């Protein structure tokens, strides 16, 4: 039987293996866990979510929602797992991360065309393959990739703390979603601050001691904007986080009847609603400093931190010089890359690249033309961004409407414009796929 090697069983690797198997081709899926873990991974399961448990907005007229709709058109494995493991999150799609991983792992292991090999692969496979080892690729394989590709780029990524629900002081918090979105009383726990509390918090945050970094470029690290540590964002201006993750718009404190000066939102981590993460509070503060400073947030005075925030180095390829829009390596067309190592940024962005890389690896093996999606689709625009970026400073990119071509006519209302872009993309992809042999 024809086989394709997939290296890495993260989000991109799972989707790639699934697409290859759906095409009737055997898969050799290599995953080094649990024999060996990266600095950020803790679970032996596949499709492990490292940072947030949110897969971002669900509504179609959002870039993240459009991306999910496109993935569903390809029969995405992980969208099915996400729907089955969903937890309340207002207008976002968030999942119970353990259930999500369990569903993905069981589906992959049960597929008769996928052979799972729990071992580390230290060299690139010689035959057709998809490399989806992520931004924390193990050292030996990373060096082999760099030998072939001429090096890589780096940025720093961060995760937010998680606290237990029972340790929160709910007398100082309230449940609500912005503008009343969501179901019932609200999916988010909100910790409101008045001006004096906010000013004191900012002073403590800016003066808190950060954890030491030992990476080569720590003196001038590139930090991905979407995972900017809260203390770094706060250093840009005293109101920076009040207009960012602590923005109070769309919320009214029932105790005062007014909008708070600032607010910290907590989002559930699991279906039992026993764990909550601090939304937008990625951090590199020392653990003791996290407990001290974040303990100043109303409601978190005695919070139990079940996981502190961490920061780690991520690596990605200089993809515009190396990859085509089908995610294949130009100098070795049977070798495909997928996930964050390509420069797409985000859970579903990584998974969507795995869909295309796996599908195209299967098509190339069978002598078929690989698929390069229309630039009007979110998946197509992302693949074209990482393969065709013309600037000098290539940086990771997540789904956003700015990378799509504009509409032929101007639409002033932003929501109507985004909806029109989403409808065009979704319909265009459907028409495109109907013509694919």
- In DSSP notation, 1-66 reads --EEEEE--SHHHHHHHHHHHHTT-EEEEE--TTTS--SS---SSSS---S-SEEEE-STTSHHHH
The least confident of 246-260, 308-322, 423-437 is 308-322
3-state percent helix, strand, coil for the chain, nearest multiple of 5: 35, 20, 45
Residue 216, pLDDT > 70, answer: no
Tell how strand 174-175 and strand 188-193 pair up.
antiparallel
CA 383 to chain centroid, in Å, comes to 16
| pLDDT (0 to 100) of residue 257 | 94
Report residue 137's pLDDT band, with 50, 70 and 90 as the boundaries: confident
Report the mean per-residue pLDDT for the chain.
Answer: 91
* pLDDT at position 105 over 70: yes
Category of 280 on φ-ψ map: left (φ > 0), alpha (ψ -120 to 50) or beta: left
Report DSSP letters for 247-272, one per residue.
Answer: --TT--BTTTTB--SEEEEEEE-STT
Of the candidates 326, 194, 306, the one whose C-alpha atom is nearest the C-alpha of residue 261 is 194
For residues 397 and 327, the model is more confident at: 327
Q: Is the pLDDT of residue 221 over 70?
A: no
Mean pLDDT value of segment 397-417: 90
- Give the other-Cβ count within 10 Å of 163's Cβ: 23
Other CB atoms within 10 Å distance of the CB of residue 299: 21
Query: What is the CATH number assigned to the segment(s) 3-152+317-434?
Result: 3.50.50.60
The pLDDT confidence band at residue 223, using thresholds 50, 70 and 90, is low
Per-residue pLDDT at 412: 87
Where in 132-252 does DSSP place strands (E)?
153-158, 162-164, 174-175, 188-193
Query: 151 Cβ partners below 8 Å, 6+ apart?
Result: 318
**pLDDT beyond 50 at 214:** no
Tens digits of residue pLDDT in 264-309: 999 988 887 888 999 999 999 999 999 999 999 999 999 989 888 8
Rounded Cα gap, residues 387 and 324, in angstroms: 5
Q: How confident is the model at residue 220 (pLDDT cuts 50, 70, 90)?
A: very low
Pick the CATH number of 162-313 from 2.40.30, 2.30.29, 1.25.40, 3.90.1070: 2.40.30
**Where in the chain are all domains bearing CATH 3.50.50.60?**
3-152+317-434
- The fraction of the chain above a pLDDT of 70, given in percent, is 94
- Where in the chain is CATH 2.40.30? 162-313
Checking if the pLDDT of 218 tops 50, the result is no
Residue 78 pLDDT: 98
If you write DSSP's letter for every residue of 63-122 in order, what string do you get?
Answer: HHHHHHHHHHHTT-HHHHHHHHTEE--TTEEEE-HHHHHHHHHHHHHH-TTEEEE-S---
DSSP state of 403: G
Given a contact cutoff of 8 angstroms between Cβ atoms, the answer to whether 25 and 365 are in contact is yes
Report the pLDDT value the prediction gives residue 226, as an integer from 0 to 100.
63
């Amino acid at each position: 039987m024809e086989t394709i090697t997939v290296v890495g069983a993260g989000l991109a690797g799972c989707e790639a293996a699934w697409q290859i198997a759906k095409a009737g081709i055997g898969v050799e899926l290599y995953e080094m866990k649990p024999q060996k873990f990266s600095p950020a991974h803790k679970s032996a399961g596949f499709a492990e979510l490292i940072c947030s448990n949110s897969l971002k907005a669900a509504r179609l007229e959002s870039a993240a929602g459009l991306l999910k709709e496109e993935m569903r058109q390809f029969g995405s494995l992980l969208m099915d797992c996400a729907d089955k493991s969903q937890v309340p999150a207002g207008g976002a799609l968030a999942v119970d991360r353990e259930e999500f991983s369990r569903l993905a792992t069981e589906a992959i292991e049960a597929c008769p065309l996928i052979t799972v090999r729990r071992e580390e692969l230290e060299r690139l496979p010689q035959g057709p393959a998809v490399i989806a080892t992520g931004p924390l690729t193990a050292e030996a394989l990373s060096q082999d990739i760099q030998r072939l590709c001429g090096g890589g780029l780096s940025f720093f990524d961060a995760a937010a703390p998680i606290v237990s629900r029972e340790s929160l002081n709910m007398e100082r918090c309230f449940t609500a979603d912005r503008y009343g979105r969501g179901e019932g009383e609200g999916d988010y726990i909100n910790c409101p601050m008045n001006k004096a509390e906010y000013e004191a918090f900012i002073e403590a945050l800016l003066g808190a001691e950060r954890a030491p970094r030992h990476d080569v470029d720590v003196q001038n690290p590139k930090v991905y904007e979407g995972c900017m540590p809260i203390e770094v964002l706060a250093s840009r201006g005293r109101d920076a986080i009040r207009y960012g993750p602590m923005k109070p718009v769309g919320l009214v404190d029932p105790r005062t009847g007014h909008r708070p000066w600032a607010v910290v939102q907590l989002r559930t981590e699991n279906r039992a609603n026993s764990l909550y993460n601090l939304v937008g509070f990625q951090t590199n503060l020392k653990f003791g400093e996290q407990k001290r400073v974040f303990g100043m947030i109303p409601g978190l005075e005695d919070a139990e931190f079940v996981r502190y925030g961490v920061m780690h180095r991520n690596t990605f390829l200089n993809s515009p010089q190396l990859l085509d829009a089908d995610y294949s390596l130009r100098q070795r067309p049977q070798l495909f890359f997928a996930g964050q190592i390509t420069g797409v940024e985000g859970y579903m962005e990584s998974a969507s690249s795995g869909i295309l890389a796996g599908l195209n690896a299967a098509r190339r093996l069978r002598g078929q033309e690989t698929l390069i999606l229309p630039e009007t689709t979110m998946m197509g625009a992302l693949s074209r961004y990482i393969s065709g970026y013309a600037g000098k400073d290539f940086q990771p990119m997540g789904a956003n409407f700015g990378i799509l071509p504009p509409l032929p006519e101007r639409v002033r209302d932003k929501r109507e414009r985004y909806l029109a872009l989403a409808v065009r993309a979704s319909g265009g992809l459907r028409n495109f796929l109907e013509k694919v042999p």
